[in-house]
């Protein structure tokens, strides 16, 4: 890491001052003389600093962070001001590898960072670096955060980021992008990002979120380089929370039932009918993705004519989506006689109207659903399937080293 020019100037300036003072002798009580410069040179020095970006750097992205190391010491503070003297707010990353401004910097603006460090002996040192940001870029790509600001979700809700219009990040640029995605949880629960594709990322902790967790998310890509001359459109932030109640749904094909668990205890058991052998329900761990009080299921939306033997167009109540391709928990009064006995659906989990209404009122988006014993596994990415893989497999999808958990 290059030591910034301003830090070297600070050292040289101090030396020049010492030489100037050397010509002014001070008398001691016994008539001998000492130089003030000699006294200054005997004072302990703080740890040498190396700061990035290097001083006088130009054309930097407005997502620039301040990185500093102190030889034999610890960086304790960073302050950043623009050329008008306005202070920029920010904070250290958890590992203190850099100091991150809370918002993107301004384009075509000069900034000065002052870094303070303390040695093992408690002596402090400071260093500065000055840099200038780039002009506003012409090519920008937008993204959005699935998680709604102020919402309350179930314990299985991942953090989901998706780039707009199918924009995809090349693999060589994913680590830099991923590093600009921030998730703060209270209480703190380390987690990791995983690239579902070049356009979609999901974040989860090792285990389900603790009930009552508060989450602050920042997609810090405003002005950040994405590769091939593209830059992030804007920063996105969201604050939301996890429900105080831990809800889990267990569906057992062998027993033909669904068990609703609340805080680890059985709340309700319901008969179900799952997908018939030609259209099986998927097994695995899924998450409630959306809740629809009323909707219409129409087979023609996925290429099966309504008037064909497998076709349908049906009014549905109390539907809760599990997969992108259309598997739901929902009210199915027409199959009550089959529920608990045999599978007759097109892949959905059929329950009675009363049970469907109870489930609809009890659940939250983000509640996990575990389906057991059916013929076909849920495929990766067909819904929010991050809990369907082990933590070890999940972190393999990150472009950064796995976190310490």
Please give the Cα distance from 381 to 300 (Å, whole number): 23
Mean pLDDT, residues 373-395 taken together:
96
| CATH entry, 140-244, from 3.40.50.2300, 3.20.10.10, 2.40.290.10, 2.60.40.3710 | 2.60.40.3710
Mean pLDDT, residues 82-108 taken together:
97
Whether 19 shows a pLDDT value over 90: the answer reads no
Mean pLDDT, residues 125-144 taken together:
97
Whether 273 shows a pLDDT value over 80: the answer reads yes
**pLDDT, tens digit, 9 for 90 and up, residues 296-325:** 987 777 777 877 777 777 889 999 999 999
Looking from the CA of 204 toward its CB, the CA atoms found within 13 Å total: 28
Q: Which of 202, 196, 189 is nearest to 160 (CA)?
A: 202
**pLDDT, tens digit, 9 for 90 and up, residues 158-192:** 999 999 999 999 999 999 999 999 999 999 999 99
Whether 110 shows a pLDDT value over 70: the answer reads yes
The secondary structure of residue 338, as a DSSP letter, is T
Q: Which residues contact 70 (CB under 8 A, 6 or more apart)?
A: 46, 47, 48, 49, 117, 118, 119, 125
- pLDDT, residue 299, reads 74
The whole-model pTM stands at 0.85
Nearest-5° Cα angle at 309, 271 to 321:
45
CATH architecture of 5-133: Sandwich (2.60)
Are 244 and 363 spatial neighbours (Cβ–Cβ below 8 Å)?
no
Q: Which of 137, 114, 143 is nearest to 60 (CA)?
A: 137
The secondary structure of residue 311, as a DSSP letter, is -
Confidence of residue 22 (pLDDT cuts 50, 70, 90): very low
Mean pLDDT, residues 348-370 taken together:
98
Enumerate the CATH 2.40.440.10 domain ranges in the chain, comma separated.
Answer: 247-374
Q: Which of 386, 367, 384, 273 is nearest to 324 (CA)?
A: 384
Which residues are catalytically annotated? 330, 348
Are 307 and 317 spatial neighbours (Cβ–Cβ below 8 Å)?
no
Q: Which residues contact 373 (CB under 8 A, 6 or more apart)?
A: 252, 253, 254, 283
CA dihedral sign, ordered 351, 255, 345, 390: positive
Mean pLDDT, residues 333-344 taken together:
97
Nearest-5° Cα angle at 349, 314 to 276:
85
Enumerate the CATH 2.60.40.3710 domain ranges in the chain, comma separated.
Answer: 140-244
- pLDDT, residue 307, reads 73
Whole-number average pLDDT of the chain = 89
The secondary structure of residue 275, as a DSSP letter, is B
Confidence of residue 46 (pLDDT cuts 50, 70, 90): confident
Lowest mean pLDDT among 44-48, 71-75, 220-224, 367-371: 44-48
The secondary structure of residue 2, as a DSSP letter, is P
Please give the Cα distance from 23 to 43 (Å, whole number): 19
Whether 25 shows a pLDDT value over 80: the answer reads no
Q: Compare 2 and 386 and report the one with higher pLDDT.
A: 386
Lowest mean pLDDT among 175-184, 305-314, 359-368, 387-396: 305-314
- pLDDT, residue 314, reads 86
Q: Say which CATH superfamily domain 247-374 falls into.
A: L,D-transpeptidase catalytic domain-like (2.40.440.10)
Confidence of residue 405 (pLDDT cuts 50, 70, 90): low
**pLDDT, tens digit, 9 for 90 and up, residues 123-133:** 999 999 999 99
Torsion of CA 88, 164, 199, 392, to 10 degrees: 60
Confidence of residue 5 (pLDDT cuts 50, 70, 90): very low
Mean pLDDT, residues 198-206 taken together:
97
Owner of token pair 């668990």: 261
């Amino acid at each position: 890491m290059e030591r910034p020019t301003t830090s070297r100037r600070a050292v040289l300036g101090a030396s020049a001052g010492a030489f100037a003072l050397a010509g002014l002798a001070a008398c001691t009580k016994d008539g001998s003389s000492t130089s003030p410069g000699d006294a200054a040179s005997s004072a302990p020095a703080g740890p040498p600093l190396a700061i990035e970006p290097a001083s006088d750097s130009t054309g930097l992205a407005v997502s620039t962070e301040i990185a500093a190391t102190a030889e034999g010491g610890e960086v304790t503070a960073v302050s950043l001001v623009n050329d008008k003297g306005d202070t920029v707010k920010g904070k250290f990353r958890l590992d203190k590898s850099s100091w991150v401004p809370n918002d993107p910097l301004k384009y075509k603006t000069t900034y000065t960072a002052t870094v303070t460090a303390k040695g093992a002996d408690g002596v402090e040192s400071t260093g500065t670096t000055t840099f200038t940001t780039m002009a506003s870029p012409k090519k920008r790509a937008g993204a959005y955060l699935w998680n709604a600001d102020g919402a309350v979700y179930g314990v299985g809700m991942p953090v989901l980021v998706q780039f707009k219009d199918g924009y995809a990040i090349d693999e060589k640029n994913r680590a830099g992008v991923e590093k600009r995605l921030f998730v703060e949880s209270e209480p703190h629960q380390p987690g990791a990002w995983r690239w579902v594709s070049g356009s979609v990322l999901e974040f989860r902790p090792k285990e389900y979120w603790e009930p009552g967790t508060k989450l602050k998310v920042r997609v810090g890509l405003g002005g950040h380089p994405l590769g091939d001359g593209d830059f992030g459109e804007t920063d996105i932030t969201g604050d939301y929370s996890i429900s105080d109640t831990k809800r889990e749904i267990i569906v057992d094909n062998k027993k033909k039932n669904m068990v609703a668990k609340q805080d680890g205890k059985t709340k309700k058991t319901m008969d179900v009918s799952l997908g018939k052998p030609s259209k099986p329900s998927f097994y695995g761990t899924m998450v409630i993705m959306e809740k629809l009080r009323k909707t219409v299921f129409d087979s023609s939306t996925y290429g099966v004519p309504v008037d064909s033997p497998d076709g349908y167009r049906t009014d549905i109540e109390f539907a809760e989506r599990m997969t992108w391709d259309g598997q739901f928990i929902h009210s199915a009064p027409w199959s009550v006689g089959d529920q608990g006995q045999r599978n007759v659906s097109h892949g959905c989990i059929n329950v009675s109207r009363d049970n469907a209404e109870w489930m609809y009122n009890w659940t939250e988006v983000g509640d996990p659903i575990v389906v057991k014993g059916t013929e076909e596994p849920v495929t990766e990415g067909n819904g929010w399937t991050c809990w369907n893989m082990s933590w070890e497999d999940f972190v393999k999808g990150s472009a950064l080293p796995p976190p310490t958990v």
